[in-house]
Amino acid sequence: TSQTAVVIQSGVNPQMPPKPDHQHLLKCDVHRLEEGPPLKAELTREQGLRYYRIMQTVRRMELKADQLYKQKIIRGFCHLYDGQEACAVGIEAAINPSDHLITAYRAHGYTYTRGIAVKEILAELTGRRGGVAKGKGGSMHMYAPHFYGGNGIVGAQVPLGAGIALACQYQGNNQVCVALYGDGAANQGQLFESFNMAALWKLPCIFTCENNQYGMGTSVERASASTDYYKRGDFIPGIRVDGMDVLCVREAFKFAAEHCRSGKGPIVMELKTYRYHGHSMSDPGVSYRTREEIQEVRSKSDPITMLKERMLSNNMASVEEFKEIDIAIRKEVEEAAQYATSDPEPPLEELCNHIFSNDSPLEVRGTNPWARLKSVS
């Protein structure tokens, strides 16, 4: 008989955090907080299968993007999210679809969790008309309702996220904004300016550092005098979370969202995670770290495998069920790739459309005097 719900509990002794086997939630490190997120989490069978399906879809989609890139069908910047899936899925499970999210350029996973279909994401990567941004955004610029996209300038999305949180506060709609950045952006001046304003005005902003251990090819130890990113808000409370465990992330973000909604101001989260690919597709990813290191993370703390084993060991699902889900996902991603390679590219006359919203058609100056470009919104 399969169980429908199980309580995952952390070890009792707070001084000795349990080894991360699949029955425990690791205790979070906290900064300027009386207590952190709860040490136990309930996982229902239905939730577990949903998280597994979403993480596995993101993983398959990214591996397909890798393949299309190597075939030169996807070109230009392309930063893949495989290895970090528990961050996106855990955050999404803890906040509402009406809450807001903005991230840097490793954005494919969040575009999917915010509700965009795989085929629209892959078609955007291949620059086709059916892409989520009509083929004009590419890898780093995808958007969805309440998702303000990937942003190509390092750290620039953080002040924008604080601005979105200001809008939430101004409208009094009890919503929060999650502003994500990497460990590579964590030393940017604009972050600290944003922290300061958010703290002064008590903005409902969850500043989130996805610490995947390397900013491009530089390890955190070589780039940051302090690698305790959750303490970097100084006067803002912070929490460091195991970003490879979807339940840890979910519980921590429920806690953070509650903190912001109750009017206590911003909070800084640090998700300890890992990316399997290089920084982008032009980085083989093995010149500054060993293949063994990547393999060890894959074998010991892969977010998808950990969730699957947790469910299997608690009799919440069978091996066959996971196989069926995997087959369905492969089929979906394969069909999406077919669409992304056969859909037409946008025609030249659509190049300048949507510069303004709801405006009358507008002449746009081209690269030469006889270019006749128009913007229609």
Is residue 297 very low, low, confident or very high in pLDDT (cuts 50, 70, 90)? very high
pLDDT of residue 5: 72
Q: Please write the tens of the pLDDT for every residue from 174-202.
A: 999 999 999 999 999 999 999 999 999 99
Tell me the pairing of strands 362-364 and 177-182.
Answer: unpaired
Structure tokens at 264: 């206590």
Is residue 3 very low, low, confident or very high in pLDDT (cuts 50, 70, 90)? low
Q: Please write the tens of the pLDDT for every residue from 99-147.
A: 999 999 999 999 999 999 999 999 999 999 999 999 999 999 999 999 9
Rounded mean pLDDT of the chain? 94
Is residue 295 very low, low, confident or very high in pLDDT (cuts 50, 70, 90)? very high
Is residue 15 very low, low, confident or very high in pLDDT (cuts 50, 70, 90)? very low
Q: Please write the tens of the pLDDT for every residue from 52-64.
A: 999 999 999 999 9
**Whether the predicted pLDDT of 271 surpasses 50:** yes
pLDDT of residue 372: 85
Which amino acid is located at 302 in the chain? D
Structure tokens at 37: 């997120």
**Whether the predicted pLDDT of 1 surpasses 70:** no
pLDDT of residue 2: 54
Is residue 19 very low, low, confident or very high in pLDDT (cuts 50, 70, 90)? very low
Q: Please write the tens of the pLDDT for every residue from 72-84.
A: 999 999 999 999 9
Is residue 16 very low, low, confident or very high in pLDDT (cuts 50, 70, 90)? very low
pLDDT of residue 360: 87
Is residue 17 very low, low, confident or very high in pLDDT (cuts 50, 70, 90)? very low
Percent of the chain surpassing pLDDT 70: 94
* 40 DSSP β-pair partners: 9
Is residue 9 very low, low, confident or very high in pLDDT (cuts 50, 70, 90)? low
Average confidence (pLDDT) over 305-327? 97
pLDDT of residue 207: 98
- Alpha-carbon separation of residue 104 from 140, 141, 183, 197 (angstroms): 8, 9, 11, 20
* Alpha helix stretches (DSSP H) within the chain: 45-70, 85-94, 108-113, 118-125, 157-171, 189-201, 220-223, 246-261, 291-301, 303-313, 319-342
Can you tell me which residue has the tokens 């089929």? Answer: 331
Q: Which of 35-49, 159-173, 254-268, 347-361 has the lowest mean pLDDT?
A: 347-361
pLDDT of residue 135: 96
pLDDT of residue 18: 34
Long-range contacts of 260-263 (CB under 8 A, 24+ apart): 260/165, 260/176, 260/204, 260/205, 260/206, 261/174, 261/176, 261/204, 263/202
Q: Which residues contact 42 (CB under 8 A, 6 or more apart)?
A: 5, 6, 7, 8
Is residue 312 very low, low, confident or very high in pLDDT (cuts 50, 70, 90)? very high
Q: Which residues contact 306 (CB under 8 A, 6 or more apart)?
A: 22, 244, 245
pLDDT of residue 189: 97
Asked if 223 contacts 284 with a C-beta cutoff of 8 angstroms, the reply is no
pLDDT of residue 280: 97
Average confidence (pLDDT) over 221-238? 97
Q: What is the pTM of this model?
A: 0.93
